[in-house]
């Protein structure tokens, strides 16, 4: 299946269908005239200092996502969106610009079709989405759109989500292409192959219980072709002015498809956060297992959200990684001219999940301010090496504008 070609063919046939049915012209015209624009702009500076490189990376990039979403005709709507990323300061290794003397900032020049999808709601309590689409499951630990990077990760897929049973959502996806953040010009800019995502979420009085299975087969990356089956629980409780939030997860992974390796790895995580007013204190542990051959792999995840913002552990070491972390946060509404100001600080301690080797520590700090549809971010990450990778420091200055709530 090539979902994008199917959608293009359907779109070309719509005018013919409208002529063939006297009553079809009005729904089609109404869907077009009720279309809403999609506008998302981001200007970002990312500076990276990494031991082993004589020069710092300086990446100033401007990203625009522009498109539209129609209203419904015959229970079907169309969404189309382009992605455009341009460097204003190119002193960095984008993975495609051949500037190997600088640290990597994976935001290459790119002009691409980001999303093109048909959404149908004809079946009761069911959404059917066909085409190039964004998929974020749970906390994006296993499947996500990598929204942090300038080029988004999208999926050419057929997705069916059903919530006919009270408190239960069933979500299944077949995908045959992953459009990755490295852009159209990269040799690893996409993965192809037949992969399946199955996800079920049930809401209980004390939280949401999720079961999932991901069968991934990639022609370009046989070593990351894997079967992952697991469960996740998250919830929260409130009393007086206090809020307690908690989450726990477990998954097991082994080879799938044409993966030539023999390995087995486990994943588990637990976290709690206690909040009062705008303040919060949290902590947790996340373990990506490794058996000395291969570490637990999450090639479709939004990896920047996990294991530190310095992105040292985008690939799990063969002996795995154990991340013990603590976080502090404070959020306040109506701060000076801002609608909201949020400050977040996180400390990580990294070790090998196997053999107990101490990898290093990391401190992350972010200040985020929102004013109407504009968001400003200042963030910093500092990874201090002990016995893995190299000392890495990253600084981000960012301004976002979004016309839409996404």
Task: Specify the pLDDT at position 356.
Answer: 86
Task: Specify the pLDDT at position 24.
Answer: 46
Task: Using alpha carbons, select from 373, 340, 306 the residue that is nearest to residue 140.
Answer: 306
Tell me the backbone φ, ψ of residue 140, rounded to 5 degrees: 70, 20
Mean pLDDT of the chain: 94
What CATH number is given to the structural domain containing 116?
2.40.160.10
- Whether the per-residue pLDDT at 101 is higher than 60: the answer is yes
Would you call 223 exposed, middle or buried from its count of C-beta atoms within 10 A (0-12, 13-18, 19+)?
Answer: middle
Structural domain boundaries enclosing 17: 3-402
What is the distance between the alpha carbons of residues 365 and 5, in angstroms, rounded to a whole number?
A: 43
Q: Is the dihedral of CA 19, 21, 26, 30 positive or negative?
A: negative
Confirm if 319 and 300 have CB atoms less than 8 A apart.
no
> At a CB cut-off of 8 Å and minimum separation 6, what does 315 contact?
295, 297
Number of C-beta neighbours around residue 73 at 10 A: 21
> At a CB cut-off of 8 Å and minimum separation 6, what does 246 contact?
207, 234, 235, 236, 270, 271, 272, 273
Task: Specify the pLDDT at position 404.
Answer: 85
Confirm if 269 and 238 have CB atoms less than 8 A apart.
no
Confidence of residue 405 (pLDDT cuts 50, 70, 90): confident
- Whether the per-residue pLDDT at 219 is higher than 70: the answer is yes
Task: Specify the pLDDT at position 188.
Answer: 92
Q: What is the mean pLDDT of residues 137-153?
A: 97
Q: Does residue 225 sit in helix, strand or coil?
A: coil
Number of C-beta neighbours around residue 356 at 10 A: 9
Task: Using alpha carbons, select from 385, 384, 365, 367 the residue that is nearest to residue 376.
Answer: 367
How many distinct structural domains can be found in the chain? 1
Task: Specify the pLDDT at position 9.
Answer: 53
Beta strand segments in 22-75, E: 36-50, 57-69
For the chain, what's the residue count?
Answer: 406
Task: Specify the pLDDT at position 1.
Answer: 58
Tell me the backbone φ, ψ of residue 5, rounded to 5 degrees: -65, -35
pLDDT tens profile 220-244? 999 999 999 999 999 999 999 999 9
- Whether the per-residue pLDDT at 286 is higher than 80: the answer is yes
Q: What is the mean pLDDT of residues 7-24?
A: 53
Residues paired with residue 79 on neighbouring β-strands, in sequence order: 69, 117
What is the distance between the alpha carbons of residues 111 and 58, in angstroms, rounded to a whole number?
A: 21
What is the distance between the alpha carbons of residues 360 and 357, in angstroms, rounded to a whole number?
A: 9
pLDDT tens profile 309-362? 999 999 999 999 999 999 999 999 999 999 999 999 999 999 999 998 999 999
Q: Does residue 32 sit in helix, strand or coil?
A: helix
Q: What is the mean pLDDT of residues 370-392?
A: 97
pTM summary value = 0.93
């Amino acid at each position: 299946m090539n979902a994008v070609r199917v959608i293009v063919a359907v779109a070309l046939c719509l005018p013919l269908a409208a002529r063939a049915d006297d009553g079809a012209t009005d729904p089609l015209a109404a869907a077009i005239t009720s279309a809403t624009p999609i506008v998302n702009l981001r200007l970002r500076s990312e500076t990276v200092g990494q031991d082993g490189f004589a020069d710092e990376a300086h990446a100033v990039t401007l990203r625009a996502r522009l498109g539209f979403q129609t209203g419904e005709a015959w229970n079907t709507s169309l969404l189309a969106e382009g992605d455009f990323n341009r460097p204003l300061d190119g002193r960095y290794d984008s993975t495609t610009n051949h500037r190997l003397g600088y640290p990597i900032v994976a935001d290459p020049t790119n002009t691409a079709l980001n999303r093109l999808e048909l959404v149908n709601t004809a079946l009761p309590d069911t959404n059917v989405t066909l085409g190039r689409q964004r998929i974020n499951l749970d906390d994006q630990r296993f499947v996500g759109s990598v929204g942090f990077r300038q080029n988004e990760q999208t999926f050419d897929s057929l997705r069916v989500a059903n919530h006919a049973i009270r408190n239960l959502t069933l979500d299944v996806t077949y995908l045959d292409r992953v459009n990755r953040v490295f852009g159209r010009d990269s040799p690893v800019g996409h993965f192809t192959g037949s992969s399946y995502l199955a996800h079920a979420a049930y809401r209980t009085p004390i939280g949401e219980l999720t079961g999932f299975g991901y069968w991934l087969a990639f022609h370009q990356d046989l070593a990351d072709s894997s079967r992952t089956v697991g469960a996740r629980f998250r919830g929260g409780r409130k009393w007086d002015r206090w809020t307690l939030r908690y989450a726990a997860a477990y998954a097991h992974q082994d080879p799938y498809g044409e993966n030539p390796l023999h390995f087995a790895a486990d994943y588990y995580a637990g976290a709690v956060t206690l909040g009062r007013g705008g303040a919060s204190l949290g902590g947790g542990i996340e373990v990506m297992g490794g058996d000395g051959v291969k570490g637990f792999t999450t090639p479709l995840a939004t990896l920047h959200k996990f294991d530190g913002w310095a992105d040292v552990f985008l690939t799990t070491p063969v002996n795995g990684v154990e991340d013990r972390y603590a976080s502090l946060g404070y959020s306040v509404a109506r701060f000076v001219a801002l609608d909201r100001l949020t400050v977040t600080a996180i400390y990580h301690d990294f070790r090998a999940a196997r053999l107990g080797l101490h990898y290093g520590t990391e401190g992350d700090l972010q200040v985020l301010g929102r004013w109407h549809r504009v968001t400003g971010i200042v963030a910093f990450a500092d990874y201090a090496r002990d016995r893995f990778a190299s000392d890495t420091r990253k600084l981000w200055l960012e301004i976002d504008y979004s016309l839409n709530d996404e």
